[in-house]
Amino acid sequence: MSAAGHGAVGRLVEDYLSHLGVERGLAANTLTSYRRDLRRYAAYLDARGIETLGDVTESDVSDFLAALREGDEDHPPLSAPSAARTIVSARGLHRFALREGVVEHDVSAEVKPPTPPRRLPKALAVDQIEALLDAAGSAGTPLAVRDRALLEVLYGTGARISEAVGLDVDDLDLETGEVLLRGKGGKQRVVPVGRYAQEALRAYLDTVRPALTSARTTGGAVFLNSRGGRLSRQSAWAVLAKAADRAGISVDVSPHTLRHSYATHLLDGGADVRVVQELLGHASVTTTQVYTLVTIDKLREVYATAHPRALA
């Protein structure tokens, strides 16, 4: 008996594995995963009395996916990502059989792998944000003023780290409270910047940045390093990491954490998701809607305290 099982299905599995290894050059570990997945699929078809891949129906493939998720006496239930990997292996076998002329139709084509649950973006609480901003830089040093301005801009505008370090002085209009951000694909957007970020920027631009400028300063960059060059993404990340450590924030904090927090706090405050989409520079509102999942805790809290029958 082959590792994939008896009969026509087993032989086809071996042919497919050989194709993956020889013609497509898949690594040994990857082939082992395919072999395990397809051995389970072949055993499932065998238990149903199905002897050839030509006898398989779309319902058989769908039922196999359901069986993966439910588990049985010999197999624990698979998570969505693991079930997706297994069904992708099975679909690959069916596509191979179609290309080789073994079957006339790919009955697996419409059976979609399960979608893994969307991971909710991490967002800090408002008091954590305030502690983070207060902890920016080494207190009393000029660079602390720069670092505070940087973090205020990240949280106050929802800018990506690349957009923040890419800011030029000409992109700031602190009189109207607006900032021009250059996003992905060269797209630009103008976003409002709040009073706290405005004040932090003014303090930095008036008292610290002039001392940092040098012959290396090019393009009028807003955020400069100690040598007068434009602050790099890595250095900006380090500024945030040090502030988080000083503030005693135990969760991992990245520049995207401030962007997530910006979006979540806006939605918690009643902002329309399409407005937040524009502020974040998302091409599609679908990308922004993941943040609405975060606010469900807020909705539950409001419901529990406001609805007369919530606690009945």
Full DSSP string of 161-203: HHHHHT-BGGGEETTTTEEEEE-GGG-EEEEE--HHHHHHHHH
Residue of 6, 105, 184, 298 with catalytic role: 184
**19 noted as active-site residue:** no
Backbone φ, ψ for residue 263 (5° rounding): -65, -45
Q: Is 187 a catalytic residue?
A: no
CA-wise closest residue to 47 among 62, 57, 65, 60: 60
Q: Does 259 participate in catalysis according to the annotation? A: yes
Catalytic one among 35, 91, 160, 265?
160
Of 16, 34, 44, 291, the catalytic one is 291
**Candidates 148, 209, 265, 282; catalytic one:** 282
> How far, in Å, are 98, 113, 178, 205, 283 from residue 293 at the CA level?
41, 22, 29, 38, 19
265 included as an active-site residue = no
Distance (Å, whole) CA 220 – CA 60: 64
From the candidates 75, 99, 256, 298, give the one annotated as an active-site residue: 256
Q: Catalytic annotation on 282? A: yes
Closest to 231 measured CA to CA, from 143, 170, 172, 136:
143
230 catalytic residue (yes or no): no
Indicate the Cα dihedral angle 73, 76, 78, 82, nearest 10°: -110
Q: Which of 259, 260, 262, 265 is catalytic?
A: 259
Which residues are known catalytic residues? 160, 184, 256, 259, 282, 291
